[in-house]
Chains A and B, each alone.
Chain A
């Protein structure tokens, strides 16, 4: 019998970024005891890195006039290329304005409407004096109205700090530097997690009436990603490890048009939203040729493809890190750049030594976001296990379908936190915690055995860092923006082999306590499962939809593929099993997005 510290609570939330914290606040406000686990102190979560803003149809800014949830809904559905759940998108669009105003009441210093005139891309804009002091919005891709509320380009930071201030005010317990290793379950109900303390390496058990996964995305599966290094998909793979919880649409991977070369740090869409241009090697503004209506501000999947298409035609700027294009914001002026785009100005100066007031910024499409994740119903309840919820980027709720609009992820975290937090509270009040000590001991024993095996293999085993590099390479080269049968098949074959090898990892260091190599070794197999699901889902989906672009099947196929992929990984299996469910269409039948390859013929 193994010894471990045991914690019991009503609601256990794994992940203390925006989605997890908002749900925690909702549940705690309803009188429930809430505990949060986080890899890092909550304010270091990747939510803090979101720059550009949060979409909500307040309609205060001149260019947002007449906006309402109907238009936000339609933009979201078109952005998703009709892959989203329309009931969820509707609920989201209706709630977003309330979420933004509530965050204002709690302390977010949203930028406000300033009356007067200014120029934007050759057009004069008059802000209404009647709206002075209300929350303003900037332009973002794929939207009919200016709808993205912001605080300069540190929106995620200010929302997260405000959210965490409420968590502190409410006295919610957070165990930071704690990593969930597995879900405790009996095949029908989830009762908590086995976790490892990243200070001491000790195993701990957390039991709860409801368990919530809000661990964000898996960007770090790719070698080049804008994501923080903690975004390794932990919550997704511990859910998948149960064998009964499916991941939805894992092949839907967003590439952001403007990762800075070569550190792949994000340059916000706000840079283009505020009037920035994309230029090629001849300093020619090429986007209007491809997308006459939306120019630089088509949806992210489209702009990323157009950039790569232009580079393929020989117009990219050669560099030791591959060809790239330029982002030009010089014409916005020093004052605007140093206030509203200050963080990206700092990033440009610190990481590439260029000053965007005077210089062009080297950018290339870079892995950015996972539309896929733990499949849940509209209440946030995971498929397959009672008492398990998921929300935020870790979940496939599914309001993004095959492409998320910029500004809709911050909005999702807060809105889903409000709505699903309430559902979690309601569920938890009715639920009881019945977990046998044998079941808990079995789950702890499994984790202890894994650790023991990694230690005992030592240097004779596979090198975790080597496996990781190979996985990153396979995904980056074969499961990127443009996809083909051949490359995807190759990816599946390679990932199959890597997944097998991941079963034989050994440690080169001592693996004592909170050893960082041991932490990586405990994750690698789960990460490879996610990578496998992405590649297998992409290989199976013989159509192009949103970010999933098959060169051999370049058209969207609503007859055969208006479906959501559900990837299961049966216990002990060597590969995922793919199933499908229909996508629910309620208000807006599939049609023309108004941008992208299927829409207006471009000049090129």
Chain B
């Protein structure tokens, strides 16, 4: 079987040289068995264009660095196999996030800001006692925390979210899921009213208009629809009780 010629149409723009308009640039490479976009993009950089910017770290679908729009769909490039794509492949950077150049966007700053806004750490008055055994936890509880904790902060749910695309301060599904992770955690002593303070707003859970692209796009399969419903219900109830 002859291998295919793949044509990549890639967004190019360098914010450091704003006088140069954004363009779409074409690159043609030969497909190989088992080729991922990680392999393809590095091939392009090493043989055709050493200036092309993109981000990979683990290249195993674990670290969340390589979210981009692949033929319009936000997903992880590292684990996208070219054999599942047509010969013409369009790559665009994830929207919403600040563009650093070509396909590289600043998800790190966005997620750190979201973590600060949602106060994403265990809030407790307990002092850690190095000599004491650990506090017991039901294994099912541990697993349900892990289910939400599996978010890899790739930003695919944000890039594909209509609300996040028009409201810059919306915390999106990743932010709501993050809050759910701490709500589920018995070690976090925050009350529903305290959670309401961080997420009970139009930039929080009540900004979601329920299109649920996030649930479709999450590359690690977190049940975001369920997490959004869980937080919305809890926060609606907390809102009623608010003085």
Contacts and interface: CB of A to CB of B under 8 A. Distances in A.
A147 to B, nearest CB: 15
A330 B145 CA distance: 27
A513 B16 contact: yes
Contact of B122 (A132, A165, A347, A517): A165
Contact of B34 (A43, A114, A166, A262): A262
Contacts of A161: 149
B229 interface: no
8 smallest A-B Cβ distances: which pairs? A41-B108, A133-B136, A517-B50, A509-B50, A109-B145, A165-B121, A112-B139, A509-B51
A320 interface: yes
A113 B52 CA distance: 49
B150 interface: yes
23 contacts: A41-B108, A41-B109, A41-B112, A43-B108, A44-B63, A46-B57, A49-B60, A105-B128, A133-B136, A158-B149, A165-B120, A168-B121, A177-B108, A199-B100, A200-B16, A228-B57, A228-B58, A229-B57, A265-B60, A347-B60, A509-B50, A515-B51, A516-B45
Nearest to B221: A346
A230 B143 CA distance: 30
A157 interface: yes
Interface string A446-467: 0000000000000000000100
B62 A133 contact: no
Contact of A516 (B16, B52, B63, B187): B52
A567 B60 CA distance: 33
Interface in A97-112: 98, 100-102, 104-107, 109-112
B63 A104 contact: no
Query: Which residue, B49, B60, B120, B126, has most C-beta atoms of chain A within 10 A?
Result: B60
Interface string A291-334: 00000000000000000000000000000100000000000000
A16 to B, nearest CB: 10
Interface in A232-274: 262-263, 265-266
Contacts, number: 191
Contacts of A199: 100, 106
A151 interface: yes
A514 interface: yes
B7 interface: no
B173 to A, nearest CB: 17
B63 A106 contact: no
Contacts of B128: 101-102, 105-106
Given A107-B121, A132-B136, A263-B36, A44 B57 contact: yes
B36 A158 contact: no
Interface string B187-206: 11000000000000000000
A242 B227 CA distance: 52
A347 B62 CA distance: 9
Interface size class of B (residues with CB under 8 A): 35 or more
Nearest to A351: B79
Given A41-B108, A514-B101, A151 B142 contact: yes
Interface in B94-114: 100-101, 106-109, 111-112
Contacts of A164: 115
Given A41-B107, A265-B59, A168 B115 contact: yes
A102 B141 CA distance: 18
Contacts of B106: 199
Contact of A508 (B50, B55, B101, B120): B50
Given A48-B63, A114-B139, A105 B121 contact: no
Contacts of A509: 49-51
A46 B122 CA distance: 24
B134 A104 contact: yes
Interface string A132-153: 1111100000000000000110
Contacts of A168: 112, 115-116, 120-121
Contact of A157 (B14, B65, B121, B150): B150
A343 B61 CA distance: 9
Contact of A48 (B58, B122, B130): B58
A268 to B, nearest CB: 11
B137 interface: yes
Which of B50, B133, B150 neighbours the largest number of chain A CB atoms within 10 Å of its CB?
Answer: B50
Contacts of A228: 57-59, 63
Contact of B146 (A45, A106, A151): A151
A339 interface: yes
Interface of A: 40-46, 48-49, 98, 100-102, 104-107, 109-114, 132-136, 151-152, 154, 157-158, 161, 164-166, 168-169, 174, 176-177, 199-201, 228-230, 262-263, 265-266, 320, 339, 343, 346-347, 350-353, 465, 507-510, 512-517
Contacts of B135: 104-105
A111 B14 CA distance: 45
Interface string B59-80: 1111111000000000000010
Given A109-B145, A168-B116, A101 B59 contact: no
A94 B203 CA distance: 47
Given A176-B108, A514-B53, A107 B185 contact: yes
Given A154-B146, A263-B60, 14 more contacts: A40-B108, A43-B153, A44-B57, A101-B128, A101-B132, A152-B143, A199-B100, A229-B57, A229-B59, A347-B61, A353-B81, A513-B101, A514-B53, A515-B50
Nearest to A343: B62
B90 to A, nearest CB: 21
A49 B137 contact: no
B162 interface: no
B151 to A, nearest CB: 8
A6 B79 CA distance: 39
A366 to B, nearest CB: 12
Contacts of B64: 43-44
Contacts of A100: 134
B87 interface: no
Contacts of B141: 109
B46 interface: yes
Contacts of A513: 14, 16, 101
A465 B46 CA distance: 6
B56 interface: yes
Given A101-B133, A104-B135, A165 B115 contact: yes
A573 B65 CA distance: 38
Nearest to A469: B46
B56 A229 contact: yes
Given A161-B149, A265-B60, A510 B133 contact: no
A166 B150 contact: no
B19 interface: no
Nearest to B45: A516
B184 to A, nearest CB: 9
Given A44-B65, A351-B36, A514-B53, A152 B122 contact: no
Contacts of B51: 509-510, 512, 515-517
A285 B128 CA distance: 46
B149 A106 contact: no
B58 A49 contact: yes
A133 B186 CA distance: 13
B33 interface: yes
**Residue among A113, A157, A352 facing the most chain B CB atoms (10 A cut-off):** A157
Contacts of A132: 136
Interface string B206-218: 0000000000000
